[in-house]
Amino acid sequence: MTHPVPPTGTTPLARREARLAWGLLAPTLISVALVVVLPLLAIFWISFKPIALADLRPPAPVVRESLRGSDDNMRIEYRVRNSSQDKLVTGVTLTDNIPDLVTVTGDLPEVCSLNGQTLFCDVGDIEGGYNERLRIPIAAADKDAAEEVVEGSEPSVTGSGDNILTNTTFTFENFARIFDGDEFWEVLWVTLFYTVVGTIGALVVGLFAAMLLNKSFRGQGILRGLYLFPYVAPVIAVAFSWLILFDPFSGSANALLVQMGVAPSAINFFGERPLALIMVTVFEIWRYFPLSFLFILARMQSIDTDMYEAADMDGASPFQKFWYLSLPQLLGILSVLFLLRFIWTFNKFDDIFLLTGGNAGTRTLTVNVYEQAFAISNIGAGAAVAVVIFCCLLLFSVFFFKFMSQEEGL
């Protein structure tokens, strides 16, 4: 009599191994959640709130204590203000211990009372922009010692206000502002042009560079190192080099074009539409083609050379060998590079910002995030644009993997 074999993963040993595996993966999963998921959720949360830069500090009472006057006009002043200009702060109270070096000599403000040396002030609710001074008349034999003690102490303050970052009030105002008018669609078109042309251009130039260097010759290593220069050089250095090179007043490129008679006058390469967008796209291709070049060259050198020798014996032309032999072998690495370069280029900010600042028709979605969040101090609108970027890349990734699975028959 035979006993049925339990399914894989249901035995006690398999369950213990699974628990051990999850236990070992737990630190990594928690780290990923903290580094990736939590900031992403925070961006989604902020995108549905009308938050400005001033709202990043929650409304709260702020008190500053100081000793003023001299002789018979000596007093302790508590400057009470609302940190917010438009939010109400409720239940504001102030508690402080009057130093033994001083004596309260006059009437207290209506909101204040003194119990021994303990001062208590019930300010109540304060409106946005509130700024008042509570004056406590005192007398002190040694003003310098009293001033040192008074200003060295910190009064206890209570009070709370509605924090727009943590409350449950949500709005679609940020998204309505983004999609209102033709500006968003122009920015989206610029982003797609910059991303698609820059990605395909970097792959094509990298492919040609790999084909050129997929041969053994003297100085091959030095030439490969030179090909990597645009990618490894600091972006701020190469960006300003391009700006100086194509400067309309002192750039050598303009001087050469004018002297050769190609252009009647200097051209503002980074200040005219649509030339500025073309230039930043060319810069993107030039700067990032070495990454494609490295991966494609590594894949080409791993292809078996026997089939090329067989193709030579059959009289195949160089184009036929590339189209029917090399390209099918490179489709895998080209598809991965296209996915990575598309996502990275879509998220690119520093190149465009350094070259044009987003002017002359080069404002992409990432530049729009910066302008919304910091130029006009609308953090919520900037987060909403970031959410739009995330959704665009998510849709592209889903479409890409679905298309790739169909191509590979998965």
In a domain, 271, yes or no: yes
Q: Do both 298 and 152 map to the same domain?
A: no
Above 90 in pLDDT, residue 69? no
Per-residue pLDDT tens over the stretch 100-114: 878 888 888 888 998
Per-residue pLDDT tens over the stretch 278-336: 999 999 999 999 999 999 998 988 888 888 888 888 888 888 888 888 888 898 899 99
Above 60 in pLDDT, residue 9? no
Per-residue pLDDT tens over the stretch 12-46: 888 888 888 888 888 888 888 888 888 889 899 99
| Domain residue limits at 348 | 182-377
CB 284 within 8 Å of CB 239: no
Mean pLDDT of 182-197: 92
Q: Do both 350 and 217 map to the same domain?
A: yes
In a domain, 195, yes or no: yes
Q: Do both 77 and 115 map to the same domain?
A: yes
Per-residue pLDDT tens over the stretch 172-186: 888 988 888 678 889
Candidate from 81-95, 216-230, 247-261 with smallest mean pLDDT: 216-230
In a domain, 395, yes or no: no
Q: Which residue has the tokens 């391009």?
A: 242
- What pLDDT sits at residue 234? 92
Q: Do both 259 and 351 map to the same domain?
A: yes
In a domain, 212, yes or no: yes
Task: Specify the number of domains making up the chain.
Answer: 2
- pTM attached to this predicted model: 0.80
Mean pLDDT of 76-96: 89
Rounded Cα distance, 144 and 360, in Å: 62
Q: Do both 63 and 133 map to the same domain?
A: yes
Above 50 in pLDDT, residue 410? no
The residue among 277, 261, 253, 267 whose CA lies nearest residue 355 is 277
Q: Do both 202 and 289 map to the same domain?
A: yes
- What pLDDT sits at residue 8? 52
Rounded Cα distance, 6 and 15, in Å: 12
401 pLDDT tier (thresholds 50, 70, 90): confident
First-to-last C-alpha distance (Å) of the chain:
41
Q: Do both 123 and 245 map to the same domain?
A: no
Above 90 in pLDDT, residue 344? yes
Percent of the chain with pLDDT over 70: 96
Per-residue pLDDT tens over the stretch 349-373: 999 999 999 998 999 999 999 998 8
In a domain, 310, yes or no: yes
In a domain, 200, yes or no: yes
What residues have CB less than 8 Å from 141, skipping those under 6 apart?
101
86 pLDDT tier (thresholds 50, 70, 90): confident
In a domain, 231, yes or no: yes
Q: Do both 251 and 118 map to the same domain?
A: no
Q: Do both 130 and 258 map to the same domain?
A: no
Q: Do both 305 and 212 map to the same domain?
A: yes
**Phi-psi region at 39: left, alpha or beta (left = phi > 0; alpha = psi -120 to 50):** alpha
* More confident: 1 or 243: 243
Rounded Cα distance, 265 and 204, in Å: 32
- What pLDDT sits at residue 364? 93
Q: Do both 304 and 215 map to the same domain?
A: yes
In a domain, 317, yes or no: yes
Per-residue pLDDT tens over the stretch 212-236: 888 877 877 788 888 889 999 999 9
Above 60 in pLDDT, residue 119? yes
SS (H, E, C) 294-348: HHHHHHHCCCCCHHHHHHHHCCCCHHHHHHHHHHHHHHHHHHHHHHHHHHHHHCC
Residues found in the chain: 410
Q: Which residue has the tokens 């400057």?
A: 79
Mean pLDDT of 160-166: 85
Rounded Cα distance, 223 and 28, in Å: 40
Q: Do both 325 and 215 map to the same domain?
A: yes
Q: Rounded to the nearest 10 degrees, what angle do helices 327-346 and 379-407 cross at? A: 170
Above 70 in pLDDT, residue 131? yes
Indicate which CATH number applies to the domain containing 104. 2.60.40.290
Candidate from 120-124, 237-241, 405-409 with smallest mean pLDDT: 405-409
| Dihedral pair phi/psi, residue 355, rounded to 5° | -80, -45
Indicate which CATH number applies to the domain containing 260. 1.10.3720.10
What residues have CB less than 8 Å from 373, skipping those under 6 apart?
379, 381, 382, 383
